[in-house]
């Protein structure tokens, strides 16, 4: 994986407000943490690794975060937002497409995006489990958000609403897909993600048949 570029803030006088500078620095640290953790794993990653990656001072780091875990939790939140944004962008907005077809098209684009954003995917799906209970809770909370998106996507399908517990079905589907993605991440095999599309969609079609 080629190293990510981390744009430097302008030197000397500039028009950025103090809040703009703090936000830019925070974004760089979060991006750097995601990349370092994806490469080295949470346990081996250090604050020094992140600072070297993004060229930010230790003083600036501690102005933003209390410690490594605090930065990583913020990184997980950002990764969750990125993953959910991938889903929102992937699902076609055409009202005339049946819910299963929207799900199939959205899932295809979603899996492709996860493969392309491998550091984010690895950090979110795998490294959260190595970072302790707080990180794991963030990870599972994001999975619940995904389940809500799945359930809402099928809301117009009578067969889905006729299920004994549609919300549980969405949680089951989200959890199963998450486990399969995590297995591919653990094997460092982004190419395996596309292989999940056909069996997952086939299962949903059978469930709603």
Q: Domain holding 41: CATH number?
A: 1.10.10
| Shared domain check, 166 and 81 | yes
Cβ neighbors of 84 (< 8 A, separation 6 or more) are 142, 145, 146, 149
81 and 56 in one domain?
A: no
Q: 49 and 81: one domain?
A: no
| Entry pTM | 0.78
83 and 44 in a single domain? The answer is no
Mind listing the pLDDT tens digit of every residue in the chain (209 residues)?
A: 333 544 444 444 456 677 778 888 999 999 999 999 989 999 999 999 999 999 999 999 999 999 999 999 999 998 888 878 877 776 655 567 788 988 888 888 889 888 988 888 888 899 998 888 999 999 899 889 889 988 998 988 999 999 999 999 999 999 999 999 999 999 999 999 999 999 999 999 999 98
Query: What is the rounded CA–CA span in Å between residue 57 and residue 45?
Result: 17
What pLDDT was estimated at residue 29? 96
Query: Do 116 and 176 belong together in one domain?
Result: yes
Residue 4 domain flag: no
**Residues 35, 121: one domain?**
no
Instruction: Kindly state whether residue 1 falls inside one of the protein's structural domains.
Output: no
Is residue 124 within 8 Å of residue 85, measured between CB atoms? no
Domains: count for the chain: 2
Surface-to-core class of residue 149, CB atoms within 10 Å of its CB (0-12 exposed, 13-18 middle, 19+ buried): middle
171 and 77 fall within a common domain: yes
Q: What is the pLDDT of residue 167?
A: 95
Last residue of a domain, one of 7, 40, 68: 68
CATH at 147: 1.10.357
With CA atoms as reference, report the closest residue to 136 among 62, 64, 72, 44.
72
50: in domain: yes
Judgement on whether residues 179 and 83 belong to the same structural domain of the protein? yes
Q: Same structural domain for residues 61 and 159?
A: no
Q: What is the pLDDT of residue 40?
A: 93
The answer to whether residues 96 and 38 belong to one domain is no
Q: Tell me: do 112 and 161 sit in the same domain.
A: yes
| Cβ count within 10 A of residue 61 | 24
Q: Containing domain of residue 41, as a range?
A: 18-68
Q: Residue 5: its pLDDT value, please? A: 47
């Amino acid at each position: 994986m080629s190293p990510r570029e981390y744009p430097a803030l302008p030197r000397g006088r500039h028009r950025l407000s103090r809040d703009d500078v703090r936000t830019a620095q925070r974004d760089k640290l979060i991006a750097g943490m995601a990349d370092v953790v994806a490469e080295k794993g949470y346990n081996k990653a250090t604050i020094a690794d992140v600072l070297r990656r993004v060229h930010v001072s230790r003083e600036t780091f501690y102005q933003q975060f209390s410690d490594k875990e605090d930065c990583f939790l913020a990184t997980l939140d950002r990764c969750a937002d990125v993953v959910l944004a991938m889903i929102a962008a992937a699902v076609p907005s055409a009202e005339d497409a049946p819910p299963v077809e929207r799900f199939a098209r959205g899932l295809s684009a979603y899996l492709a995006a996860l493969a392309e954003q491998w550091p984010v995917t690895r950090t979110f799906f795998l490294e959260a489990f190595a970072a302790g209970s707080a990180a794991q809770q963030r990870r599972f909370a994001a999975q619940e958000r995904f389940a809500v998106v799945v359930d809402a996507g099928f809301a117009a399908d009578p067969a889905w609403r006729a299920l004994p517990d549609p919300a549980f079905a969405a949680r089951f589907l989200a959890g199963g897909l998450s486990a399969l993605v995590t297995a591919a991440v653990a094997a460092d095999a982004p190419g395996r993600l596309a292989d999940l599309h056909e069996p997952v969609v086939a299962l949903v079609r059978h469930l709603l048949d």
